[in-house]
Amino acid sequence: MKRVAILISGGGSNMVRLVEDMTGDHPARPCLVLSNVPGAGGLGRAEALGVPTAVVDHRDFADRAAFEAVLDAELRKAAPDILCLAGFMRILTEGFVRRWQGRMLNIHPSLLPKYRGLDTHARALAAGEAEAGCTVHGVTAALDDGPILGQARVPVLPGDTPAGLAARVLVQEHVLYPAVLRRFAAGDARPVLMP
């Protein structure tokens, strides 16, 4: 049974879906939900689901390396086989990524390689895209890069706002990420492509 640690910074709606899916014949179980933000909404949701939680507040550290040293220590205690970044809003150094490369997933709200970085929906709308979506990828040192493990597409509709498009994409994130984790934890890295 694979052990999965999930890193969050906010409400954790993706984390909730991942945890809720890890039951029955799923080859993984959640072992930790960790946030860099004290009081993040997802921490209470994880506790309500019976998952151990931890906080490592990045503001307590002078630099990324010091933050990641404590992050590593918390993770070692939970001994995860797989890390899932789910709305985790810190950029991780190459050293950290290298220690977890091949076992660390992230969900990004665009159809990578398009729209790496922030404000993905506003940028897609400004560019007049006909479709948008989300991507689950293996995390590498380059931001929002790495092997694509899953993608879900949604249409851009007339009058869409960034918030409206984000909400439509989020519905797909909640289906895609659990599907990718289930396959990845079973040792199958073939991408999940929806629809």
Binding positions for ligand GRF, rule: CB under 6 A: 8, 10-15, 42, 86-87, 107, 109, 134, 170, 173
Q: How far is the CB of 23 from ligand GRF (least distance, A)?
A: 19
φ, ψ for residue 42, nearest 5 deg = -65, -25
**Side chain identity at residue 159, one-letter code:** G
Following DSSP, what letter does each residue of 147-163 receive, concatenated? -EEEEEEEE--TT--HH
For ligand GRF, give the closer residue by CB, 3 or 90.
90
Taking CB atoms, the residue at the shortest distance from ligand GRF is 87
Give the whole-angstrom CA distance, residue 181 versus residue 104.
Answer: 10
Tokens 């918030």 — which residue? 163
Q: How far is the CB of 9 from ligand GRF (least distance, A)?
A: 7
58, 108, 137, 174: which is the annotated catalytic residue? Answer: 108
Q: Is 108 a catalytic residue?
A: yes
Pairing of strands 148-155, 28-35: unpaired
For ligand GRF, give the closer residue by CB, 31 or 35.
35
Residues carrying an active site annotation: 108
